[in-house]
């Protein structure tokens, strides 16, 4: 899987192409020595990636005549699109024993305490060894005489689009349809455009938009077991209309549409968003960014969050603003005044940017709130009762989601795969509650006496409901992280099953047991034993 970061392009696997900086054309041959100049593809450590089979003596003589050259063995590239993982080239006879020579540069050089010179690198050395990781839009840094980055603003517009397009084209040519690319930390105006542009042609995923949306929807489905009703019965108000907020809102609307059969345009009407200028309403349509326009409903202008809460009277309040302490006491008390169990999700992190703390949510709501956050909070005791805040962490989703795409050989990401992932998280939460209940069944039966098999089942169901309700009352709308590997394996299986169902899988035939297959493909961080 390749992860695309807003400032660098990093390859999370151990092989081949990982970074491209304006390469006029990327040609990777199947055999022989390749000389790659200073602007060629590099791995996450800054080393140029090429395949070579020329003897060392001849290679060194060749290198003497050239500048800015690095060479490393890369068998995986050999087969190109038709040989993505190098299975074919790995079986070919080799004329010489493969060997590798790497010139330290980039990240590798900076991490080497023997050779890193810090600020002592000259401008020529910085250019030669790729020490420039790309410029800045911070005017204060640009004017700082000690700023060691490129003193230029970051690429935008056509130049930016061409660079991204060149990378996306090259990575697909060299790894094929199954290479998974994750966009991470891109600005809103770029994140949505890139996802929309490359979604139909590449296997791409944006964790900020799609991962966050999936984990929040999973929490909401779990919370319904406490507050009752269906998603369609609730009103949602968001503080924050960026990629996280609009991504969550869209996935909620999509799930409601699938449940009710209503058009997506209709299911969006119970979902309202507040940005820095107030409630997003139709009178603001002309000035809105394109990704906010679907959420501009008919309503008079409202400028503050508390006024929006009182006007909309939401049952669910979701914060994705990145601004701390915006869920004030007045806001939380208002939510509790017209909801028996208000759902309050304070998703911004770190803790200093959380819209409110767990203690504030429980205290100001007098223990009524169902609360979850993006940052971890300790259990809170209020009025003699212990509440355990849930954490809406993307780690519930993206590892299992990515694994599901990979083990099925998916070629595209579909919204139904995201829904499958979030439902699996919710199911894992319910399963955890059920398991906790079943562990207490012998005690219950000792009290109840020996009963018939049917009675045992009914007792188990009753006790499971009781324990589950007690757990949900404490705020446990997410399963514990101690089960994350099992959860991820089940998410991977659910996502893979949906990939096969949609006909987007290339790894055939389908494994009989997707959970076991997913587990067999997971990395186990354990040392081997020695005799």
> Angle at Cα 125 formed by Cα 120 and Cα 129, nearest 5°?
120
- Calpha distance 371→476 (Å, rounded): 9
> Angle at Cα 163 formed by Cα 161 and Cα 165, nearest 5°?
65
Q: In what order do the strands lie in the sheet with 236-239?
A: 278-279, 271-275, 236-239, 316-319, 343-346, 370-373, 390-391
Burial-class residue 98 by CB neighbours within 10 Å (0-12, 13-18, 19+).
exposed
Identify the residue whose tokens are 């304070």.
346
Identify the residue whose tokens are 């998280």.
425
- Judge whether 67 is annotated as a binding position: no
- Calpha distance 398→425 (Å, rounded): 11
CA dihedral 226, 230, 233, 234 (to 10 degrees): 60
3-state class (DSSP) for residue 173? helix
- Judge whether 125 is annotated as a binding position: no
- Calpha distance 525→86 (Å, rounded): 25
- Judge whether 185 is annotated as a binding position: yes
* 3 state SS for 312-332: HCCCEEEECCCCCCCCCHHHH
Residue 264 structure tokens: 């997506």
- Judge whether 184 is annotated as a binding position: yes
| Residue 482 CA, distance from chain mean position | 20
- Calpha distance 390→376 (Å, rounded): 8
| Residue 487 CA, distance from chain mean position | 16
Residues 6+ away with beta carbon under 8 Å from 235: 270, 271, 272, 312, 313, 314, 315, 316
Residue 213 structure tokens: 């949306």
Beta bridge partners of 180: 203
- Calpha distance 299→47 (Å, rounded): 56
Give the β-pairing of 236-239 and 316-319: parallel
Residue list, annotated binding site: 184-185, 208, 349, 393
Residue list, annotated binding site for (S)-malate: 349, 393
Residue list, annotated binding site for a divalent metal cation: 184-185, 208
């Amino acid at each position: 899987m390749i992860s695309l970061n807003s400032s660098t392009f990093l390859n999370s696997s151990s092989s081949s192409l990982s970074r491209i900086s304006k390469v006029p054309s990327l040609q990777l041959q199947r055999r022989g020595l390749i000389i790659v100049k200073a602007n060629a593809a590099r791995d996450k450590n800054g080393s140029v990636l090429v395949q070579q089979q020329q003897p060392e003596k001849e290679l060194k003589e060749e290198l003497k005549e050239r500048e800015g050259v690095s060479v490393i063995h890369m068998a995986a590239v050999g087969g190109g699109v038709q040989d993505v993982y190098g299975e074919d080239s790995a079986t070919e006879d080799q004329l010489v024993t493969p060997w590798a020579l790497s010139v330290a540069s980039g990240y590798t050089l900076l991490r080497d305490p023997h050779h890193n010179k810090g600020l002592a690198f000259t401008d020529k050395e910085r250019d030669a060894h790729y020490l420039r990781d790309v410029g800045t839009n911070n005017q204060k840094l640009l004017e700082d005489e000690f700023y060691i980055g490129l003193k230029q603003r970051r690429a935008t517009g056509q130049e930016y689009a061409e660079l991204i397009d060149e990378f996306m084209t090259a990575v697909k040519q060299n790894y094929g349809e199954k290479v998974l690319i994750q966009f991470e930390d891109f600005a809103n105006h770029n994140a949505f455009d890139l996802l929309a542009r490359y979604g139909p042609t590449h296997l791409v995923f944006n964790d900020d938009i799609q991962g966050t949306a999936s984990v929040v929807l999973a929490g909401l489905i779990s919370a319904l077991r406490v507050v009752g009703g269906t998603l369609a019965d609730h009103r949602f108000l968001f503080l924050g209309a960026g990629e996280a907020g609009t991504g969550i809102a869209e996935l909620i609307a999509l799930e409601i549409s699938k449940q009710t059969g209503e058009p997506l345009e209709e299911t969006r009407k119970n979902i309202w968003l507040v940005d820095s200028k107030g409630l997003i309403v139709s009178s603001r349509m002309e000035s809105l960014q394109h990704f906010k326009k679907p959420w501009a409903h008919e309503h008079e202008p409202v400028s503050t969050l508390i006024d929006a809460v009182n006007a909309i009277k939401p049952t669910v309040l979701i914060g994705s603003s990145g601004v701390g302490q915006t869920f004030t006491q007045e806001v939380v008390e208002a939510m509790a005044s017209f909801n028996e169990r208000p759902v309050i999700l304070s998703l911004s992190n770190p803790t200093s940017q959380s819209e409110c703390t767990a203690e504030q949510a429980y205290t100001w709501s007098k223990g009524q709130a169902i609360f979850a956050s993006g940052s971890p909070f300790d259990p809170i005791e209020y009025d003699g009762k212990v509440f355990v805040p849930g954490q809406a962490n993307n780690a519930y989703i993206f590892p299992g989601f990515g694994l599901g795409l990979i083990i099925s050989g998916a070629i595209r990401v579909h919204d139904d795969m995201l829904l499958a992932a979030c439902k699996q998280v919710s199911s894992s939460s319910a399963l955890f509650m059920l398991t906790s209940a079943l562990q207490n069944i012998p005690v219950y039966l000792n009290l109840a006496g020996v009963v018939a098999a049917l009675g045992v089942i009914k007792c188990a169901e009753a006790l499971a409901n009781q324990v589950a309700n007690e757990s949900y009352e404490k705020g446990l709308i997410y399963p514990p992280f101690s089960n994350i590997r099992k959860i991820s394996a089940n998410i991977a299986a659910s996502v893979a099953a949906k990939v096969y169902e949609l006909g987007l899988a290339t790894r055939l035939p389908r494994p009989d047991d997707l959970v076991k297959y997913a587990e067999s493909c997971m990395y186990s961080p354990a040392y081997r034993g020695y005799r």
